[in-house]
Amino acid sequence: MQNSLKLAFIALASTAFMAGAANAQAVRTERNMSLDLANQIAASAVATCAANGYAVSATVVDRAGGVRAVQRADNAGPHTLGASQQKAFTSASAKNNTLAIMEISQKNPGAANLVNIPGYLLLGGGVPVKVGNEVIGAVGVGGAPAGNLDEQCALAAIDHVKELLK
């Protein structure tokens, strides 16, 4: 009888341990971007482009593509707001620069339908914001004369806050 009690106790303890391990994996901890960081990135992107003579909008989104900060330069066209938001969303979603995604979709017929994903904009100017290899959001810039110039402003903005991304 005592052996069967021990076996029952071991079985019960094992079941509880496995359930606890499964529950521990069910909840994740993720890094997120603060509003202050998002505002710094947006302001830096707009300022960098302004210094080069470009009136742009910059949108910063969190890891899920939700808008955290938006800045629109004086004289930036109304279309730049939507473009910057869609570039940021695309970059955060795909965890890649939108210029690279655009090039992939042009060269790979299997990726050509990426343009049909709602909210995606395959133009240069969207860049993921990372802590190490973890994407915590993205910045999208719209309004410079070409996507590669939008991307340069986005990259400069991330470089401006690189000490905060450690």
Q: Is there a domain that residue 95 lies in? A: yes
End-to-end alpha-carbon separation of the chain, Å? Answer: 59
Q: Is there a domain that residue 9 lies in? A: no
Q: Which amino acid is at 16?
A: A
Q: Which amino acid is at 75?
A: N
Give the pLDDT confidence of 109-162 residue by residue, as tens digits. 999 999 999 999 999 999 999 999 999 999 999 999 999 999 999 999 999 999
Number of H helices, E strands in the chain: 5, 4
Main-chain dihedrals φ then ψ at residue 126, nearest 5 degrees: -105, 130
Number of domains in the chain: 1
Q: Which residues contact 107 (CB under 8 A, 6 or more apart)?
A: none
CA distance 8 to 92: 50
Q: Is there a domain that residue 133 lies in? A: yes
Q: What is the CATH classification number for the domain harbouring 87?
A: 3.30.450.150
Full domain range(s) for residue 46? 35-165
pLDDT above 70 covers what percent of the chain? 86
Does residue 86 have a pLDDT over 90?
yes
Q: Is there a domain that residue 74 lies in? A: yes
Q: Is there a domain that residue 23 lies in? A: no
Predicted pLDDT of residue 119:
94
Q: Is there a domain that residue 4 lies in? A: no
